[in-house]
Amino acid sequence: SRDAQADFITGLPESIPFAFDPTGIVTDIPPAILKRVLARTTWLSCNRSEAAIIAGAGSDAALAQRLLSAHCPHAEGVVIRAGAEGALLARRGFEPVFVPAFAVDTIDTNGAGDTHVGAFIAALSRGLPPVEAVRFANAAAAISTTRHGGSVAPRLEEINEFLKCAQEKKSA
């Protein structure tokens, strides 16, 4: 169904934003299809290894720049997830910003990337600025790692409480 999915994605009206996470199967996506999908992408979110598969080796900032300039010509931005370190946000016309992760007692990282992507998109759709959306996504991913299993994304109230507590600890 790759061709049908690519046709659907590339046929979306320009007014509809499209977020793409190529996941670990990025090497299984035929280059022509990947190129079409990336060309239609509004926001690309991937981990470091996925970014390197698409754009080659380099620092997160270099990868993000290449992703924006050579692979995602119409994207507003790229998020490169760096696990327990945090995530880099790169947007057109702005300097890249690294948003640090939150320290938690990790039990299971399964699903943390998916949680991050979903929370980032949800935060953008609620009107948060991109940097705050990445911070929100970092919090959601951190919470998800404190639980067993891959289907453990936190609810909005949990994330907001987590961020509130983090801010209080920072202010103290």
Q: Give the contacts of 130 (CB within 8 A, at least 6 positions apart).
A: 76, 77, 89, 91, 124
Distance CA 43, CA 36 (A): 14
Q: Is 114 designated active site? A: yes
Q: Which of 60, 105, 108, 114 is catalytic?
A: 114
Distance CA 135, CA 116 (A): 10
Report angle CA 54, 126, 148 to the nearest 5 degrees. 65
> What residues act catalytically?
114
